[in-house]
Amino acid sequence: MKQILRKDIPEEETWDLTPIFASVDKWEQSFQEVEKQIDNLLAGGDPFPLSTARELFDSLNDYDQLMERLNRVSSYAMYKFSEDESDAENQEIMGRSLSLVAKGGQVTTNFTNALVQVDKNDIDNWKKEEGGIHEFDRFLDRLDEVRHHTLTSDMENTLASLSETLRVPEVMFHAVTSSDMKFEPAKDKNGKEHPVSLHMYMTQIETSPDTVLRRNAYQSLTNGLKNYQHTLGKSLTSEITKNISLAKLRGYDSAKDMLLQYSDPNQFYATDAISSSFFGDILDTFQKELSPHMQRYARLRKRQLGLDKLQFSDVKAPLDPEFDPPIRYKEAGEIITDAVGVLGPEYQNEMARVFSERWVYRGDNVGRRMIAFGGGVHGVHGYSFYPWGGNLFDMLLLGHELGHTLHFSLSMKNQRYINNTQAHLFVEAPSTLVEQLIVDYLKENRDDPRLKRWLNMYLMMSYHHNCVTHVLEAELMRRLYDFAENNQPLSTAIISKTKGAILSEFWGDTVEIDEGANLTWMRQPHYYMGLYPFTYSVGISASTVMAERIQKEGQAIGKQWTEVLKQGGNKSGLDLYRMAGLEMSTTENLKKAIARVGTIVDELEASFQPIS
């Protein structure tokens, strides 16, 4: 099959980046202007005076505008690079952009260092003098929440200068998994060889109907991972000990508390200040209450696939592999746009723009980015990257990414840039809700029992990914941090043994947990993202309950959700949920979502019963 180059991709399969910059030359002009401004700010002096109410407002406004311009420059470079990572010009602008972002991070450090030196009472009084300061309340409130964990200016500057060094464990993981790891090809049931890579296994082979291929590829993956287990074991251990040291330095009770409440000095306002005990309650609830439903689904899979035993390589095998209807991109866009009509005309009109104004890059060319995403550019609109394959699965995953895209687009229209870092606890709810709405729309508008069964299986795949895979990732991190903070040395053997124990506890005797399963901690970069994986389970639980409310109560609830999306990062995740009528500070709604999973398993068991 001939490989397609970026220049050969039809225009309609690309996104239109001209609203960001009309050309690379215009990007270059803006880059140089932003770089000059940042260099001047870093040259010394007092770039952000903060001695009066007016100075505070002007400094906040100047900083906000600079960060918005930097976002536009860096986003354009990243989007161009995503189109074709092999292109020399794209590589150059991406490299220069990353360097500029790093310098911008130093500006952020300097600015926040200066702000925390200002007495809170002075800021409160200045707000009465200069009402415009209230436009930045969210940023200032989040800064105040971490004020007591902020170090001296010299120490913060030192840590900022070491930012690249502190990222070495994560960089090592990506270098090893993307460049060094090699896997032997795997044969399918017909003896044909297939290439194996981490990406190809997790996106294609893992869900293949060919049991021989799945198991052979799984063994190839296991053999390849084993060769690097000690390297990545050391990398993960270093990440954990680094965070423990930083937590002590900042005065947190534990690394978990720091990761849940502070996360990163340049994005401290993205966390939700939830307690480590509530974090534990979330993990415990899913592992205890979701496990029985997933074990039932595992038994159904084993029975339906006719397997003597269900290996870990079989847990995502399709139950109806022959059902894979193709769908054209245009029709998919119409279905997605119709499905989100329940969120109100404003949201639906914004979704229609996605397809009429080319917000999506869907070309499948050499050098393209491998992972889909949904995001946006402040002052412009949302964008999404999704290589289009042309089936129902693609339509639903595209819908997921567009949920992110519209969330960003709506919030960027309505919020200041520095207030708008999305709350981690909320960010996966808008994307998974769009998936749920597409499923509900198709169930209501298509009279096909096989399709409805497939849609239920899709939902189970989504819950597996968000509420099983990610929760168990977070559980491993909880245990490893507890081990390390209780002075138990970590090692590759302990990491793998702990991962295996977690999987065995969850799956019971329904799935065979082998050496390859124990090594799944080597597959994902999530372990270098703090405790972020658990937020997926909160987001999909909220969207499950929200979708049911919309079905029962109608568009009024959907419009309410759209108003919440406009708030963006201007509220905490828990407050955003409350604005939507959802209380997510307890496990009640998590349990409702888990019960919904149980209902879907009931329906699937009934749908696969032989007709007498």
**Residue 10 CB contacts under 8 Å (≥ 6 apart), including other chains:** 363
- Residues sharing a CB contact under 8 Å with residue 106, sequence separation 6 or more, in sequence order: 42, 157, 160, 161
What are the extents of the domains in the chain? 6-166
pLDDT in tens, 81-95: 999 988 999 999 999
Give the pLDDT score at 203. 77
Predicted confidence (pLDDT) at residue 46 exceeds the cutoff of 70: yes
pLDDT at 316 over 50: yes
Q: Tell me, what's the pLDDT at 264?
A: 58
pTM confidence score: 0.93
**Torsion on CA atoms 410, 362, 332, 317, rounded to nearest 10:** -110
Residue 473: enclosing H or E segment and its boundaries? helix 470-485
- When the pLDDT of each residue in the chain is averaged and rounded to a whole number, the result is 93
The tokens describing 379, both together, are 């002052």
Mean local confidence (pLDDT), 218-233: 96
- The CATH homologous superfamily of the domain defined by 6-166: Oligopeptidase f, N-terminal domain (1.20.140.70)
Residue 263: what pLDDT?
A: 57
Averaged pLDDT for residues 318-331: 91
pLDDT in tens, 567-592: 999 999 999 999 999 999 999 999 99
CA-only gyration radius of the chain, Å: 24
Q: What is the mean pLDDT of residues 213-228?
A: 96
pLDDT of res. 368: 87
Q: CA-to-CA distance for 206 and 94, rounded, in angstroms?
A: 32
Longest dimension (CA), the chain: 84
Rounded CA gap, 43 and 567, in Å?
Answer: 36
Strand, coil or helix: what is 360? strand
Q: Are 194 and 185 in contact (CB under 8 A)?
A: yes
In tens, the pLDDT along 470-496 reads 999 999 999 999 999 999 999 999 999
> pLDDT-derived band of residue 610, with 50, 70 and 90 as boundaries?
low
Q: Quickly state the pLDDT bin for 171 (edges 50, 70, 90).
A: confident
Give percent of the chain above pLDDT 90: 79
Question: For residues 55 and 327, what is the distance between their CA atoms, to the nearest angstrom?
Answer: 57
Any bridge partners for residue 360, and if so which?
Answer: 384
Q: What is the pLDDT of residue 612?
A: 40
Tokens of 480: 């490893």
Residue 265 has pLDDT above 60, yes or no: no
Strand bridging mode 360-361 / 382-385: parallel
Half-sphere exposure of 224 (CA within 13 A, CB side): 25
What's the confidence (pLDDT) of residue 2?
A: 62
Query: Contact, 553 vs 494, CB < 8 A?
Result: no
Question: Which residues, in sequence order, are bridge partners of residue 376?
Answer: 382
Higher pLDDT, 516 or 86: 516
Q: State mean pLDDT over 583-610.
A: 95
User: Confidence band (pLDDT; 50, 70, 90) for 366?
Assistant: confident
Q: How confident is the model at residue 1 (pLDDT cuts 50, 70, 90)?
A: very low
